[in-house]
């Protein structure tokens, strides 16, 4: 693996490195860790990489790695930069034959998203987007149960992602994460909705297998002087006639990362929370409530394949993230060996999921600004 971004002081770069390394199947071999060549060099030294594999920018890295022999050069590029620097390295990597793992959202705007999607289709290269919450075993169990019809036709979806870390104008303190996430020149047209609302949208579509067809959005910026939304409430309509509610907020004081979802069908429903990820609550019309637990009982192979350790040992954010990297690695290795990958490991978000996320951001902002509230998605 090569890495673009993620240098000293970066949060998400370290998360990606830990997730990629967790199963011992991916090795970080090179990187352009910062737009500042000196910072990139210092970051490479801190990661014990040879100086010849630490580059001043991603362009230099991609071209240099391409010249190395197969088996020595990087096999794929991981992109962990702010949103406005996703497109450039992703495009150049694909054009030079390198598969890509990219942090979400896919890129800065819809034009870039569609261009990347076309490029992935043209090259046939693997592309994974790290909507990491889809990596949890019980999320995969929930998806299987909905899609095999355990709950009957889905009628209602409620998905929420409340945080409280931006309840004050933290960006004025030069806090790095707050600074770029609230800056429209780096984050794009949305704040909370682009940052965490896309996770809620992706989780709803992933578990239900349904697609949002229309939405009605109300975005707010509660902190004075902030340039992007920090709270939003959205009504959803799905392609099977189901209705939904999506709430994402970064000013919900005291909240941590409480991504949660409830899905209701004709015969029952489910509930899952990221802060209690090993439990999946199942509710029925005519039976007592059940609690399914990671690693316990007769779970579907899709859940079992993404569980590493015995029941009762918490598997969380990093393990879910690692499942995306491991699945990507399995598929890439199979391709390199001329084999068909196991379908269980083909389960990771793709560039098309990224396009859906960018479309979601665009339509949410459009709806919130419009007096004609319902907007086709």
Q: Which residues contact 254 (CB under 8 A, 6 or more apart)?
A: 164
> Which strands sit side by side in the sheet containing 100-102, from one edge to the other?
30-32, 2-4, 77-79, 100-102, 127-129
CATH number at residue 44: 3.40.50.720
* Residue 66 domain boundaries: 2-129
CA dihedral sign of residues 328, 331, 336, 337: positive
**Residue-level pLDDT at 108:** 95
Rounded to 10 deg, the angle between the 198-208 and 137-147 helix axes is 50
Structure tokens at 4: 């673009």
Pairing verdict, β 154-162 and 212-220: unpaired
Kindly report the length of the chain. 377
Q: Which residues contact 218 (CB under 8 A, 6 or more apart)?
A: 232, 233, 234, 368
Q: Which residues contact 276 (CB under 8 A, 6 or more apart)?
A: none
**Residue-level pLDDT at 266:** 98
Q: Are residues 95 and 244 in the same domain?
A: no
Cα–Cα distance for residue pair 204/262, rounded to 1 Å = 9
**Residue-level pLDDT at 146:** 98
Show which of 99, 129, 159 is a domain's final residue. Answer: 129
pLDDT, tens digit only, all 377 positions of the chain: 999 999 998 899 999 999 999 999 999 999 999 989 999 999 999 999 999 999 999 999 999 999 999 999 999 999 999 999 999 999 999 999 999 999 999 999 999 999 999 999 999 999 999 999 999 999 999 999 999 999 999 999 999 999 999 999 999 998 999 999 999 999 999 999 999 999 999 999 999 999 999 999 999 999 999 999 999 999 999 999 999 999 999 999 999 999 999 999 999 999 999 999 999 999 999 999 999 999 999 999 999 999 999 999 989 999 999 999 999 999 999 999 999 999 999 999 999 999 999 999 999 999 999 988 788 88
Q: How many C-beta atoms surround the C-beta of residue 75 within 10 A?
A: 18
Q: Are residues 224 and 259 in the same domain?
A: yes
- The helix/strand/coil state of 27 is coil
**Residue-level pLDDT at 195:** 96
pTM: 0.95
Q: How many C-beta atoms surround the C-beta of residue 267 within 10 A?
A: 14
**Residue-level pLDDT at 253:** 98
- The helix/strand/coil state of 376 is strand
Which residues, in sequence order, are bridge partners of residue 375? 215
Cα–Cα distance for residue pair 177/80, rounded to 1 Å = 13
Q: Are residues 108 and 195 in the same domain?
A: no
**Residue-level pLDDT at 174:** 87
Q: In total, how many domains does the chain have?
A: 2
- Residue 333 maps to a domain: no
Of the candidates 100, 140, 114, the residue with the CA atom closest to the CA atom of residue 16: 100
- Residue 231 maps to a domain: yes
Say how many Å lie between the first and final Cα of the chain, rounded.
Answer: 35
- Residue 334 maps to a domain: no
Q: Are residues 46 and 176 in the same domain?
A: no
Q: Are residues 180 and 236 in the same domain?
A: yes
CATH number at residue 238: 3.30.360.10
Decide if 61 contacts 68 (C-beta within 8 A): no
Find the radius of gyration of the CA atoms of the chain.
21
């Amino acid at each position: 693996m090569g890495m673009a971004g993620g240098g000293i002081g970066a949060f998400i770069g370290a998360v990606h490195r830990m997730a990629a390394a967790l199963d011992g199947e991916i090795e970080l071999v090179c990187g352009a860790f910062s737009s500042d060549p000196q910072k990139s060099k210092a970051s490479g030294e801190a990661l014990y990489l040879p100086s010849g594999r630490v580059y001043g920018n991603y362009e230099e890295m991609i071209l240099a790695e391409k010249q190395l022999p197969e088996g020595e050069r990087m096999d794929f590029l991981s992109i962990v930069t702010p949103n406005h620097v996703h497109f450039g390295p992703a495009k150049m990597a694909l054009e030079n034959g390198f598969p890509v793992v990219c942090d979400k959202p896919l890129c800065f705007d819809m034009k870039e998203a569609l261009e990347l999607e076309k490029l992935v289709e043209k090259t046939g290269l693997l592309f994974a987007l790290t909507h990491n919450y889809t990596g949890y075993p019980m999320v995969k169990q929930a998806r299987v149960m909905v899609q095999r019809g355990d709950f009957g036709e889905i009628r209602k979806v409620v998905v929420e992602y409340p945080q409280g870390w931006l309840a004050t104008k933290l960006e004025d303190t030069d806090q790095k994460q707050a600074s770029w996430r609230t800056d429209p020149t780096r984050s794009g047209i949305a704040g909370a909705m682009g940052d965490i609302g896309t996770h809620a949208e992706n989780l709803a579509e992933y578990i239900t297998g349904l697609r949002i067809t229309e939405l009605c959005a109300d975005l707010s910026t509660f902190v004075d002087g902030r340039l992007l939304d920090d709270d939003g409430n959205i009504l959803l309509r799905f392609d099977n006639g189901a209705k939904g509610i999506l709430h994402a907020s970064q000013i919900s004081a005291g909240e941590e990362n409480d991504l949660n979802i409830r899905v209701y069908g004709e015969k029952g429903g489910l509930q899952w929370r990221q802060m209690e990820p090993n439990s999946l609550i199942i509710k029925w019309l005519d039976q007592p409530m059940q609690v399914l637990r990671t690693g316990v009982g007769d779970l579907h192979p899709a859940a079992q394949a993404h569980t590493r350790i015995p029941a009762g040992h918490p598997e969380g954010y990093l393990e879910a993230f690692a499942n995306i990297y491991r699945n990507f690695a399995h598929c890439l290795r199979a391709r390199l060996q001329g084999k068909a990958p196991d379908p269980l490991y083909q389960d990771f978000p793709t560039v098309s999921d990224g396009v859906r996320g960018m479309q979601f951001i665009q339509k949410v902002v459009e709806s919130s600004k419009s007096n004609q509230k319902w907007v086709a998605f």
